[in-house]
Amino acid sequence: MFKLVFKQYKTKSSTPDLRDVINFDDFEITQNDLRQNDNNVQRLSIINEKPIQMIPGIKSPNDWRSYKLTHHPGIVIIRNPFTERGRRYWIARCLRDYPRTPNVVNLNERLFNDSVRSDWWKQLNLCSDKDEFQRIKTAMRWTTFGYHHNWDTKLYDEQMKSSFPEDLSSLCRLFAFTLGYSDFKPEAAIVNYYPVGSTLSGHVDHSEPNKTAPLFSFSFGQTAIFLIGGTTLEEKPTAIYLQSGDVMIMSGESRLCYHAVPRIIKTQRDSTSMLASEQDDDSEIELKLLDTALFKNVCEPTFWEPFSNYVDDSRININVRQVLNLGDFKL
Ligand SMILES: O=C(O)CCC(=O)C(=O)O
């Protein structure tokens, strides 16, 4: 059943029927009036008793719109809690910084030289040939850091890790803390790059020795149809839209469920509308958790342009896991 639904959404020959795809924006037409699929989607209120250290570029948790899927216990979706500037910051980090050596990328050494494989974004933007630019751009599919996911053995290795960026660690801890997972340790990340037309087939994330810690997933750029199924491929998955800025948490039962991305849909346009008001408050905000220069630069049109062009026809997903069991210091 999972594979059949995947195929239906992936189809290139005709436009798939999107009526069953859950769009969380539909649930905001009138306050708390869950119009369709209302037996599956429930608004979730996140109440924080303890003060949390906020990060620039994220709205106050009181303004987050959060949902759970009753048919898939453990799935939580926070509908774009980022400001426009916050989204730009993470997009720029994923493109410019995270795919650099010593982080690992998928680019094959037979097809790409060392400069491209060690600093993809820099080389991409130095490339003046249109076809070569497109080849280099669309070849980037993933980068890993922290513990590197080994796609062949599906095992992590203590010798195979690079440092985990402080800013991404703070981002994950903020969401983990807010949702009650104050012990969560971000230890491995995969950034997935999806040019429109690409897919990710059904799988379960079971490489981590720690299978009970939640998994945090951040979506930017174009919209994904995301399938969440059960623990076997027999169960029919639910299709949801993951839009730019959405944060999804896979916890509890759903942490070990089949999931996939059968389609990327081009729905997002670059938005500058909110940016002007967000720029005023630089002096007020605590920038030490982020790359300060980058957080300022993403508001500059010429700096932002190549990033904007990339996400105009691509999606980026940051997927963060805890690898070790609590109390363990290594594998
Ligand atoms: O792109 C996504 O939303 C899902 C990515 C994913 O499932 C993975 O990296 O294992």
271 touches 226 (CB < 8 A): no
Instruction: Determine, yes or no, domain membership for 119.
Output: no
Instruction: Determine, yes or no, domain membership for 134.
Output: no
CA–centroid distance, residue 195 to ligand 1 (Å) = 14
- The residue type found at 163 is S
What's residue 28's pLDDT? 72
CA–centroid distance, residue 302 to ligand 1 (Å) = 31
> Which residue, judged by its Cα, is nearest atom 10 of ligand 1?
205
Q: Please indicate whether residue 254, judged by its CB atom, sits closer than 6 Å to ligand 1.
A: no
Instruction: Determine, yes or no, domain membership for 130.
Output: no
Peptide bond into 51 cis (omega under 30): no
Instruction: Determine, yes or no, domain membership for 254.
Output: yes
Q: How far apart are CA 45 and CA 43, in angstroms?
A: 7
Which atom of ligand 1 is the closest one to the Cα of 190?
Answer: 9
Digits of tens for pLDDT over the chain (331 positions)?
Answer: 999 999 999 998 778 899 999 999 998 755 455 555 467 999 998 877 777 778 999 999 989 999 999 999 999 999 999 999 999 999 999 999 999 999 999 999 999 999 999 999 999 999 999 999 999 999 999 999 999 988 889 999 999 999 999 999 999 999 999 999 999 999 999 999 999 999 999 999 999 999 999 999 999 999 999 999 999 999 999 999 999 999 999 999 999 999 999 999 998 776 666 666 676 555 555 667 899 999 999 999 999 999 999 999 999 999 999 999 998 999 9
CA–centroid distance, residue 192 to ligand 1 (Å) = 7
Q: Please indicate whether residue 156, judged by its CB atom, sits closer than 6 Å to ligand 1.
A: no
User: Quick one: which H or E segment has residue 239?
Assistant: strand 238-242
Instruction: Determine, yes or no, domain membership for 133.
Output: no
Q: 301-311 and 84-92 are packed helices; what angle lies between their axes, rounded to 10 degrees?
A: 80
Q: How many CB atoms lie within 10 A of CB 107?
A: 20
Give this prediction's pTM: 0.95
Which residues span the domain enclosing 39? Answer: 2-106+141-321
Q: Please indicate whether residue 319, judged by its CB atom, sits closer than 6 Å to ligand 1.
A: yes
Which atom of ligand 1 is the closest one to the Cα of 260?
Answer: 7
Q: Please indicate whether residue 200, judged by its CB atom, sits closer than 6 Å to ligand 1.
A: yes
Q: Please indicate whether residue 259, judged by its CB atom, sits closer than 6 Å to ligand 1.
A: yes
Instruction: Determine, yes or no, domain membership for 13.
Output: yes
Q: Please indicate whether residue 255, judged by its CB atom, sits closer than 6 Å to ligand 1.
A: no
What's residue 204's pLDDT? 96
What's residue 286's pLDDT? 62
Q: How many CB atoms lie within 10 A of CB 114?
A: 10
Q: Please indicate whether residue 314, judged by its CB atom, sits closer than 6 Å to ligand 1.
A: no
Q: What is the DSSP string of 57-80?
A: TB--GGG-EEEEETTSTTEEEEE-
Phi, psi of 26 (to 5 degrees): -65, -20
Q: To the nearest 5 percent, what fractions of the chain are helix, strand and coil?
A: 30, 25, 50
> In this structure, what is the dihedral angle of CA atoms 205, 210, 214, 218, given to the nearest 10 degrees?
-50
* SS3 call for 214: coil
Query: Hey, which of 317, 318, 321 would you mutate to test ligand 1's pocket, going by the most ligand atoms within 8 Å of its Cβ?
Result: 317
- Alpha-carbon separation of residue 103 from 140, 163, 273, 307 (angstroms): 13, 8, 34, 20
> How many domains are there within the chain?
1
CATH number at residue 287: 2.60.120.590
Task: List pLDDT tens digits, range 86-121.
Answer: 999 999 999 999 999 999 999 999 999 999 999 999
What's residue 138's pLDDT? 98
Instruction: Determine, yes or no, domain membership for 178.
Output: yes
Buried b (16+ CB within 10 A) or exposed e, 115-128: ebbbbbbebbeebe
Query: Hey, which of 217, 264, 315, 316 would you mutate to test ligand 1's pocket, going by the most ligand atoms within 8 Å of its Cβ?
Result: 217
Instruction: Determine, yes or no, domain membership for 122.
Output: no
Q: How far apart are CA 6 and CA 202, in angstroms?
A: 8
Q: Please indicate whether residue 250, judged by its CB atom, sits closer than 6 Å to ligand 1.
A: no
